[in-house]
Structure 1
Amino acid sequence: MNALDDLEDNPGPEGQLTLKVVAHPQATNLHGDIAASWVITQMEQAVELVAARLAKGRAATVAVTGMDFLCPVRTGSLVQIHTQLLETGTSSMRFQVEVWILPPNEKDPNSLYKVTEAHFVLVALDELGRIRSLPQH
């Protein structure tokens, strides 16, 4: 399967819109595109927001898997991070995190392009930074 097949198989974002941010010029790489590290930082911030709510306190990323970049992000793109809780354990939470963009100067607000996705695993932490159990819902 190539990147175009993936885009056609998944016509729109899955999960909850968690974070929206404009890609700014300070986040570019040597080639003038937004750096992958900046995109990953936005993904982690979004998933940590959701995980902290579920954990009712601190949460930390312990694993990130399955990340491929499908297209570059240009300066001025509206970057949208979507998160979806996949499963919980005693102290852990596994999420799918997707990044979609609306390129600059795009006239159709529904013309989103998928940039990447990954699975993030986070754990609940106590005030001393030790792993703790998730609260019962």
Structure 2
Amino acid sequence: MNDIDSAPMPQGDLALQVVAMPRDTNASGDIYGGWLVSQMDMAGSVTATDVAGGRVATVAIEGMAFLTPVHVGAVVTCYCDVLEVGRSSVRIVVEVWINSKHDGDPIKVTEGEFVFVAIDEKGRTRAISG
């Protein structure tokens, strides 16, 4: 987050936008956390695939906390920021944002650190060519 700004804004590049649908809700009508994690994984894999120049696999997810529920109809937006590129891995922070139902202001839902490893056509770890 940018400490200079009074209003937080997404960090990183837009990687995915999807509308939260009724089929993605729990009994209370809120979007499942697991559904959000799957969207984050897809967004991160898009970025990691680009960085790695090919197929990747998710190997770790760290540091997630949900800050606010997501309502049906919300446009869920995932932003990715590459933290580190290793010999065969890519570490990415994925942030999820929605717009407020009331005033349209951006609201941060969650963020997590995803680690992907580059793999070859046989599913074995491969080096990322730089």
1-structure distance, mates of 2:103, 2:26? 26
**What TM-score results when the alignment is normalised by the length of structure 2?**
0.92
SS at 1:45 equivalent: helix
CA change 1:82–1:94 in 2 (3 A) is same
2-structure distance, mates of 1:93, 1:10? 29
Unaligned 5+ segments in structure 2 are none
1-structure distance, mates of 2:30, 2:22? 9
Among 57, 65, 71, the residue aligned to 2:54: 57
Cα deviation digits, residues 35-77 of structure 1 (max 9, x gap): 0011000000001011111111110110000000000000000
Q: Which residue in 1 is equivalent to 2:128?
A: 134
| Bigger proportion of residues as strand | 2
Q: How does 1:107-118 map to 2 (within 5 A)?
A: 107-108=103-104, 111-118=105-112
AA aligned to 2:12 is: G
The answer to whether the 8 A contact 1:16-1:84 is kept is yes
SS at 1:68 equivalent: strand
Q: Which residue in 1 is equivalent to 2:30?
A: 33
| Bigger proportion of residues as helix | 1
2-structure distance, mates of 1:54, 1:85? 9
CA change 1:9–1:68 in 2 (3 A) is farther
Among 86, 90, 93, the residue aligned to 2:90: 93
Runs (4+) of structure 1 exceeding 2 A deviation are: none
1-structure distance, mates of 2:91, 2:129? 16
Unaligned 5+ segments in structure 1 are 1-7
